[in-house]
Amino acid sequence: MTARSLRAWPLIGVAAAGLWLSGCSGSPAQPADTPRPTSSAASSWMETTYRDHPDVTLGQILIPGTHDSGSGFINTNEPCDNEVIAGTQEAISAMLVAEPCGLAAFSRAQDVSLRDQLESGIRYLDLRVGVPADQVVKSAGGPIPLPPDPLSVELVLHHTVVSQSLTRALDDILAFAHAHPKEQVILDFQHVDLPTDPRVAQFYEQILAQYLLKYVPANGTGIGPVCSRAWSRDVIDVPDGDLARKVGFGRAWKADRNLVVLAEPSELPANPCFRNRDQAILSQWPKTQDPTVSSNYNRIELEQRQAKLAAKPPQCRGTQSVGAEADGTPKQGDEPANWCGFFVSQMQLSTDNLTYGECVLLPEGDCSLFALSQLVNQSGSQQSVAQQMVSWSGAGLPTNIVIVDFFNYSNPSYTETLVERNRQSVAGS
C-alpha cells in the first residue's frame, strides 16, 4: 500500500447517507451538519433494558463508545485557529503553523459534545487530558505547591490539538449522570499527557485529582463531583480487575453510583475513586487504515478472549498486542493484560506516519479522520462496524465495548443498532 493510497479508497455509503464532503484539494473532508439525538429513549437505554435484569454486568453487554471522545471542539473551519498541548512533538507543532486545517482534520474525531454523545446512547468515553502549551507552570527544582484554588488551573481535553476545557467536559458528564442516575458511564482516562518534568507532571496530576474530587458545575443545583457518583472502592468493594464481571446493574443502582473512573495508577494520586485501568480494562489498537485488516484483527482478538473466558477456570492473565500484521493477525507484545475485564474493540481507522504527515501537509478531501470513519461506519462493500459487532455478538463472541470516530455519521445508526442488540439478548435470555 502506497503512502497516499488512502485517496483511492471509496467513501463507502457517504452519498447514500446524505452527507456533503468537500473534495477540493487543500480542503479536508468534514461533515456539513451535525446529526443530534433523535430519540429520548437513547438517554435511558440501560435503565429500561436491564430494569428486570439487575444481575447483568457491564462486562456482559455491548457498550457503544467513542474514540477521542472529547475532540469535538477542535476548530476545522478556516483559518483553523487551534493550539497544541504541552509536550507535543516539534514536528507536529510545526504542522500547526504550516497547515493548521490539515492538522485539525486529523485531530478531530467527533463533532458533538460529550452531553450529546451520552444522550445519544454512548456509555464509554475515551478521555485525554493535557495542558495548553502556553500555560505550563515552571519548576524551581522542588515540588510545586498547589494554589489556594486548584480548580483555577486549566486542564483541557485534546487529541494533541486542544479541544475543550476539562470543566466544560465535566459539566456535560455530571449533568447527564445526575439526570440519569441509572445509566452507567465508563470514564476512561486513557491518556494523561503532561510535561516530562516529573515535578511539573506531579503538580498537574494533583490538579486533575482535585477536579474529579471537588469540581461541581456552577449552575448545577444538587449535582456533586465525579467521585460522588463513582464506583469507589469504599462504596463498591470489588477488585479493579473484577469490575466488569462482579458488579451488576442492581448493585450500582443500590449504591446510587453510575460513573466508573479508570486511570493509570501512575497518573493520579491514590484514591478509592480512581480504578486501575491496567487491571480493569484491555483496549488494544490495531494501528491500521485498512478496514479489512481492522475487522480481522478485532475478530481474532474476540476469538482469543472467548477461548480464555471459556477455560476452566478462566485464563484471565495474558499479554496485549502491539498492532496488526498485514492480514490482521495481532502482533503479540509482552505487556501484561487482564482478558476478563472490560474489553474494548477499537474499530476506528488510523493512518501510518507517512500518510499522516502527507495528509496534514498536503490536505485533500479524503485526508481526514472523518473520511476514514466513513469507510467503516457506513454499510457498503462490507458490513459497518455496528453490523459487524452485532454479527459477532450473535455468533457468541464476547463483545463488550466498541469505539469509533464520528459515531453519529453511521448507517445503520451505530448506537441504535448496538442498543437494540442488547435488548434482543435480554429478550432471548
Mean pLDDT by 10-residue block, N- to C-terminus, for the chain (429 residues)?
A: 31 33 58 68 95 98 98 95 95 94 96 96 98 93 93 97 98 97 98 93 97 94 96 98 98 98 96 98 97 97 98 96 97 97 98 90 88 93 92 97 97 95 91
Residue 240: per-residue pLDDT: 98
Residue 142: per-residue pLDDT: 86
Residue 282, all three cell numbers: 484491555
Annotated domain spans of the chain? 37-427
Q: Which residues contact 45 (CB under 8 A, 6 or more apart)?
A: 121, 183, 419, 422
Residue 29's pLDDT is 87
Count other C-beta atoms under 10 Å from residue 32's C-beta: 9
- How far apart (Å, rounded) are the C-alpha atoms in residues 30 and 24? 12
Q: Which CATH class is domain 37-427?
A: alpha beta
Using CA atoms, how far residue 47 sits from 40, 118, 160, 250, 332, in Å, is 13, 14, 35, 10, 38
Who contacts 311 (Cβ-Cβ below 8 Å, separation ≥6)? none
Rounded to the nearest angstrom, the gap between the alpha carbon of residue 94 and the centroid of all alpha carbons in its chain is 27
In tens, the pLDDT along 253-283 reads 999 999 999 999 999 999 999 999 999 999 9
pLDDT, residue 24, reads 37
Phi, psi of 110 (to 5 degrees): -135, 165
CA distances from 301 to 33, 241, 322 (A): 35, 19, 12
3-state secondary structure of 255: helix
User: In 73-204, at which residue ranges do the beta strands (DSSP E only) sit?
Assistant: 124-130, 156-159, 161-165, 185-192
Asked if 404 contacts 348 with a C-beta cutoff of 8 angstroms, the reply is yes
Threshold 0.75, pTM exceeds: yes
Please tell me the predicted confidence (pLDDT) of residue 365: 79
Helix (H, G, I), strand (E, B) or coil at 180: coil
Q: How many CA atoms lie within 13 A of 202 on its CB side?
A: 10
Could you tell me the three cell numbers for 243?
469490575
Assign 224 to helix, strand or coil. coil
* C-alpha cell recorded at residue 365: 478531501
pLDDT digit string, tens, across residues 369-413 = 999 999 999 988 689 999 999 999 999 999 999 999 999 999 999
Q: Are strands 161-165 and 185-192 parallel, antiparallel or unpaired?
A: unpaired
What is the predicted pLDDT for the residue at 40? 67
Beta-carbon count within 10 A of 375 CB:
25
Segment holding 259, helix H or strand E: strand 259-263
Alpha-carbon span 167 to 12, nearest angstrom = 37
